[in-house]
Chain A
């Protein structure tokens, strides 16, 4: 039996609705004067199409302009759909990395976070991750969703969260200011704190970023301790290249379930590494479809690249709590066929926009 339109956006996780029905329900919710957010109701007036009339399918989402830059200054309350009345619980206003200009801010509602977490838990269960173990997060809290997510998730899983905080923007600033030594000292300071927890506590679940994980395991004793004690290492917040992933899985942490979570503030969640990938397969991420959908496109033509080719990632987030369609991210990835029934693309081997190429050096002989 099909879900009633008002229930489609809250679909039970084992009853995934048809993407078209889902998108139509979302357009009604976000663009009806009684339920839409002040931001979208106002913004709709400037669109040259009518979302309720014109947007039905996943492909129709491309009608929307990329609005994410506006979230650098839109007041967060303007982004909360009126349909919640006074029942919306904002668990935090989380910000994007702030790599490209001032940060983008989005309010995260308890209702959405819980849905997203339930969905991720299904994947953890499917991978056989034990409940009730201690977690160690070595990740940013502050305005970033990563830290909050980790601590909430640890509790959901019946574990106790240990935590080492960091400020990634300070690291970026040190590097941008030509102070790599300062960034280095700061990273060592974080890693030393994490090591201390690992050496003195029993940790089953480690959550961190690829650069910090790499630094942690540079020390062979720490690598051994993680390999012997930790059941799962979950990484996110930055890219991990295929060679590093392979080394970690085969040489450095062979006894650990290393899995990736590719997230973005602009989709208000993560995407999970597909289980059961072959030894040599690229790390592939599946989204929480139809809430979160990707398309991998050729940035020059806007068309989707064939499966197996690399392109730039366009992200859509559609939930009751938020509408954020057609956002062209800076990341590139290989387009992969999604699991059956999923809308959009899955992605593999996510990488930052290529910075390859030496700047031409003319003078001098070297």
Chain B
């Protein structure tokens, strides 16, 4: 048995190996790495040091981000090649390898474009610098709300780490607390950034326990926290925290030719294992939902069960006991729904202690069935009837809503609806995302403010 990989904290004076370390195991329960757990004292000292760190110029930041992005996707970083990194992510997170590879490329692209994409969020009336000639007659200047931005990161998808790069582009010092389940991606990204002009006092990786995480939130100026409804509720009243809650992405199918859009629906549900907040959780059908559910089931059932590192893997894999727990939870919640796919069980044992989570399709009989909010980290979709008389209400609280064949009057209301973050019209999967396009509004809307400046 080889020595476990050491994932050290990355602090202001370099890597820090704590005595307290968590074992990171793969989906078969094999130990892969040890993740240092820093104490609160280290958290507070790190954030204090970052706060005092220098701010690079915008030009230096853009260049360093691009350099780090390219290294992230192509170089050996902290002794680990891209291929090894991608293998480990698929093994510990259970994410299909193809999805990890796509995320690598997209993260690199996001880094290269991070500076440019932040510009889209700047109010038209605001200038970048107080020296801008416009301020001579009075103008808004776009400024940061603080100096240190923290991320309490999730494990569901390596692509989530592309988002916080924009904070670095805006001049923030950034602290990332990795999840214990998949620390490889933030470790690699932070390490890559520290090899550029950002250096050790601009970006840090602080693996720590819950008490340490609370200290990260209180010591940083602003924090982005991923979690479920309870996390959203915990921070709802805190203006310094941006909670990233469940996505509950949805598709609305109107019109008779839904069959020609089936690829988009299947892809939205299942791409890269369906582990993203932008994968579809519920499909609403203006008409009879049964044939849609059956067509989806037929297509999804063809996805093979594979170990996550296989070239043709397309389903998420979990430790067998976790998969069994998820299956039981699903069946409890599915009470009263018609099972179209997955009734025999969704946990498919792979024989090494892990299990693939196979797709599940359920049909519910009303657009306000409670199951439509049940978002799980594998291709699991709830299909419901919907008619124009049901209105927007069942479609609320949605990160991405793809509406196919919707009437213009309905589109007006969907775009106006405050609890729907993104509206895609026509054949666009819910997971469509490009640099420069807001994910859940622009991150810069949270990180920046305008300030009046007049001089001369």
Contacts and interface: CB of A to CB of B under 8 A. Distances in A.
A243 B329 contact: no
B41 interface: yes
A251 B157 CA distance: 37
A220 to B, nearest CB: 7
Contact of A243 (B18, B247, B377): B18
Given A184-B218, A246-B19, A363 B39 contact: no
A365 B276 contact: yes
Interface string B9-53: 000000000111000000000000000011111101100100000
Interface string B150-182: 000011110000000000000000000000100
A217 interface: yes
Contacts of A360: 322, 325
Nearest to A244: B39
A153 B276 CA distance: 60
A366 B226 contact: yes
A247 B42 contact: yes
Interface in A349-366: 358, 360-366
Given A180-B214, A243-B18, A365 B246 contact: yes
B20 A243 contact: yes
Given A180-B214, A214-B40, A362 B326 contact: yes
Given A180-B214, A241-B20, A358-B180, A366 B227 contact: yes
A365 B375 contact: yes
Contacts of B226: 366
A362 B376 CA distance: 7
A248 interface: yes
B228 interface: yes
A214 B215 CA distance: 12
Nearest to B155: A366
Interface centre among A248, A360, A361, A365 (most CB of B within 10 A): A365
Given A363-B375, A364-B246, A220 B48 contact: yes
Contacts of A362: 325-326, 329, 376
Contacts of B376: 362-363, 365
Interface in B244-266: 244-247
B256 to A, nearest CB: 33
B185 interface: no
B228 A244 contact: no
Contacts of A363: 228, 246, 329, 374-376
A314 interface: no
B277 interface: yes
A246 B42 CA distance: 11
A242 B45 CA distance: 17
Interface string B355-382: 0000000000000000000111100000
Contacts of B39: 241, 243-244, 247
B227 A364 contact: yes
B377 A247 contact: no
A28 B141 CA distance: 84
A360 B180 CA distance: 13
Contacts of B374: 363
Interface string B284-304: 000000000000000000000
A122 interface: no
A252 interface: yes
Contacts of A225: none
Interface string B401-442: 000000000000000000000000000000000000000000
A218 interface: yes
Given A180-B214, A218-B48, A246-B19, A364 B375 contact: yes
A361 B155 CA distance: 12
A155 B247 CA distance: 63
Nearest to A210: B41
B371 to A, nearest CB: 11
Given A242-B19, A252-B41, A365 B377 contact: yes
A323 B18 CA distance: 40
Interface in B181-214: 214
Contacts of B45: 218, 247, 251-252
A218 B374 CA distance: 43
A366 B156 contact: yes
Contacts of B377: 364-365
Contact of B156 (A180, A241, A248, A365): A365
Contacts of A218: 44-45, 48
Interface centre among A242, A243, A361 (most CB of B within 10 A): A243
Contacts of A243: 18-20, 37-39, 41-42
A72 to B, nearest CB: 29
A244 B40 contact: yes
B236 to A, nearest CB: 14
Interface centre among A251, A360, A366 (most CB of B within 10 A): A366
Given A362-B329, A363-B228, A214 B41 contact: yes
A248 B39 CA distance: 11
Interface in A230-253: 241-244, 246-248, 251-252
A93 B375 CA distance: 56
A273 B39 CA distance: 21
A241 B277 CA distance: 37
Given A362-B325, A365-B277, A244 B227 contact: no
B275 interface: yes
Given A214-B40, A242-B19, A243-B38, A364 B229 contact: yes
A248 B246 contact: no
Contacts of B38: 243
29 contacts: A180-B214, A214-B44, A217-B41, A241-B19, A241-B39, A243-B38, A243-B39, A243-B41, A243-B42, A244-B40, A247-B39, A248-B41, A252-B41, A360-B322, A360-B325, A362-B329, A363-B228, A363-B329, A364-B227, A364-B245, A364-B375, A365-B154, A365-B156, A365-B246, A365-B275, A366-B154, A366-B156, A366-B244, A366-B277
Interface of B: 18-20, 37-42, 44-45, 48, 154-157, 180, 214, 218, 226-229, 231, 244-247, 275-277, 279, 322, 325-326, 329, 374-377
**7 tightest Cβ-Cβ pairs between the two chains A and B:** A366-B154, A364-B228, A244-B39, A365-B156, A366-B226, A362-B329, A242-B19
Given A243-B42, A244-B42, 15 more contacts: A184-B218, A241-B19, A241-B39, A243-B38, A243-B39, A247-B39, A363-B246, A364-B227, A364-B245, A365-B154, A365-B157, A365-B275, A365-B375, A365-B377, A366-B154
